A and B are shown apart, each in its own frame.
Chain A
Amino acid sequence: MAEDVSKQTYDAIVVGSGATGGWAAKRLSEAGLKVALLEAGRIVTAREFTEHVPLYQLKYRGYTPEIAETRFIQRQCYACMEYNYEWFVNDLENPYSTPADRPFTWQRLRVLGGRSLVWGRHSYRLSDVDFKAASRDGYDVDWPISYADLAPYYDIVERYVGISGFAEKNEMLPDGQFLPPMKMSCGEVRLRESMQKNFKRTLTMGRVAILTQPHNGRAPCHYCGPCERGCMTFSYFSSPFTTVKDAIKTGNCTLITDAVVSHVDMDTSANKAAGVTFVNRTTKETKQVRAKSVVLCAQALESTRILLNSSTREYPKGLGNSSGLLGHNLMDHVVGGGASGTFDDLNVLPNASPPHRPTGIYVIRFRNTPATGKQPHFIRGYGFQGDSMPAFNFNAPGIGADYKKAVKRGTYNVSLGAFGESLARLDNFCEIDPNLKDIWGIPALRISMAHGKNEAAMMRDAGVTAAEMLEAAGAKSIRVTTGVEMPGMAIHEVGTARMGTDPKKSVLNAFSQSHDVSNLMVADGSCFVSSACQNPTLTMMALCVRACDHLVERFKRNEV
């Protein structure tokens, strides 16, 4: 590193280099601020991507004992594989605890780009039905912002990231700045038409952060399939090769990798954040970086952990926690409801040399909407992700030459899996476990979360509606799931430092700025007031850009 980071005073420290941290670094450094971008892990380069490595070249073809030994929690993530498990945290080095009857799976990466390297890429706007949900059903509180406040920032983010999809003019899922959509299969077209005709529900192509045409210097998708193993053409959005790269290009941003942040340092007399303390991941040496402002983008649970570990005499319950709400209202979309089946009359053989479309379809929320009215058994709603494609039938019965033929004949599968809104509740929370530290000596989290009756009722309903929609479209061999999976499985954790107008009832203001410490921001998913049911990353990025622009304005007015 060219400059001695401990001798500088930056305008802003950004903690975390993922989807939001990358945006914060880009937005602030492009506005002329001197930024230090801290990442707990190492650099990632395109040379280590494995998206084109065939499975048979992996020694254990996906079942390396290394994952069972060191990623025994991370392996619950679909994207943690023999190809890329080193991107995920080592569970032996990064412990957390849960009550025995409230399991929670915390799936995370510590490398440049964080989870943006392996994310699901579905990108949806929230609507005022989400921002003002409390006004409609009386549960909890509205967001302090409305759709109109965020729409221009959705535009900024979408134009830069590149979201493929098509407009539906559906009030539950506002349209955005779309690149041409990926294409639907015959089965998906059938389901879309049937759903519209029989239920007046909308199945749209997944709106995803994957390019379908050249965009901002990046090439379109080459349809090899497994984005979560990296993309040598950077066709899906990940921060290292976009926002972080832009930030560094300004000359205003210093990237500090292997910096495991333990806490925010305070200038107590001024009641301002003075910088952060971090432990070097490899040398375990402790260092401080100073700055005029601190922007946490470490992911909801990790940013909250940093603040809880930053308590002072003035903030004994955690920095910026005069409300007592820091760590509470932890949400993660509820998953587990859905259905699958086969379209036996669609005679399309599976093909091992096809273009692999790296995404699926999306069914827009249709429960408790202004158009559909109130559901008797639950509030809020869910959307479905899914797809319909021919597949090899490895489960075919029999043996011998006939079995080999049956495998190749395949089945035309169709499936829908729900992502439901997770209600904000005080008793879903994280706190510091007094008896647990990570290998850098930093106190670890105790996470206590369970989905409730509303989420369970929603997943039951999702199983039923998915099955009835598949049946109406002519699917056979339908199987229904109505369960509730362990919290954390959606990997959409949000809400532990909610925004609001009342400092007694929220941790952050409507610009993700701490009510208590004016130069401290939490610009990741922590600020969510409700989880809605849409995949949250696009909204996190839009909120982050809005928060950063506000910080820049305050710098210009000399308020920081």
Chain B
Amino acid sequence: MEILDREVSHAPIEARSSTLLSRRELIRAALLASAATALGPLFSFSQAIKSGLTPAAQGEDGSRFLSDPNWKPLFFNEHQNATLIALGEVIIPATDTPGAKDALVNRFIDLLLSVQPVDFQKQFTDALTFMDAESQRQFEKNFVNLSAEDQASLLTPWAFARAPSHWTARNKSGEEAPDHAQRNFELLKALIVSAYYNSEIGQKELGWDGEITHGPYEGCEHAAGTHT
């Protein structure tokens, strides 16, 4: 799943008091004013058919579905949800910045999977089941019941590219079997990473300051030939 990293703007602010305007809001207000002039009186919003607008174009803030205090999973069972929360926190822990749990990564993945095709849903839940199976095999406990150290030690071998071992290279079979475990891990990691970095917390982790515009782009300011 692709990670979209170009999303760095903020919500409309028209309703707030002007004394509370931040720099971001002032910029947006300035942009709106110049837009109103350029638009002129030709087209009015009422001419647009509201039902023809996407929820985003209607101004819906879809993040409220995740922050609902009465949130319940739409797709996962309790154990799957708990396993995913634990996995998220090992892959993207809270450090000096918040981690996957704070970013409600499990809730977004639950919402996303609730509308995905059955085969993709199954791939994901199979991967969660696999984590428990491996955890049982190595530590005789489900993943959620492992210590943080054991959780990390279970996942770490799958988190790096694999070089063929000299042993298997010399072995008769020639090639190593495709690594089912690694594929399961990579699926879980990809969704957790995407859900984390595309959240508001994740954007701030990457250094987003909440402004909608930072222009103009100044480009390379070095002397000719500096880079060659």
Contacts and interface: CB of A to CB of B under 8 A. Distances in A.
A185 B43 contact: no
B227 A190 contact: yes
Interface residues of A, number: 83
Interface in B117-155: 152, 155
A391 interface: yes
Contacts of B48: 42-45, 47-48
A2 interface: no
A124 B217 CA distance: 22
B198 A354 contact: no
A87 to B, nearest CB: 9
Interface stretch (A240-248, A488-496, A536-544): A240-248
Given A62-B4, A217-B38, A356-B6, A232 B207 contact: no
Interface in A174-189: 182-189
Given A194-B228, A356-B8, A232 B217 contact: no
| Residue of B116, B195, B209, B214 most packed against chain A (CB within 10 A) | B214
Given A184-B220, A185-B220, A346-B227, A397 B159 contact: yes
Contacts of A391: 5
Give the interface SS of chain B, mostly helix, strand, loop or mixed.
loop
A388 B204 CA distance: 24
Contacts of A375: none
B43 A45 contact: yes
B228 A473 contact: yes
B203 A56 contact: yes
A398 B160 contact: yes
B193 A222 contact: no
Given A43-B43, A400-B90, A53 B11 contact: yes
Give the interface SS of chain A, mostly helix, strand, loop or mixed.
loop
B219 to A, nearest CB: 3
A54 B10 contact: yes
Contact of B11 (A45, A48, A57): A57
Given A58-B56, A218-B38, A399-B155, A45 B5 contact: no
Contacts of B198: 55-56, 61
Given A45-B44, A351-B207, A226 B91 contact: no
Interface stretch (A325-333, A334-342, A402-410): A402-410
A85 B52 CA distance: 10
A193 B215 contact: no
B115 A65 contact: yes
Contacts of B57: 48-50, 83-84, 86
B168 interface: no
B225 interface: yes
A183 B205 CA distance: 27
Contacts of B203: 54, 56, 352
Contact of B92 (A65, A194, A218, A404): A404
Q: Which 7 A-B residue pairings sit nearest by Cβ, starting from the closest?
A: A183-B219, A223-B215, A59-B62, A55-B7, A190-B227, A352-B206, A52-B9
26 contacts: A50-B56, A50-B57, A53-B56, A54-B200, A54-B203, A55-B4, A55-B7, A57-B11, A57-B63, A183-B220, A186-B220, A189-B220, A190-B228, A193-B224, A223-B217, A224-B9, A224-B213, A350-B5, A355-B213, A356-B215, A392-B5, A400-B91, A400-B92, A400-B93, A404-B205, A408-B205
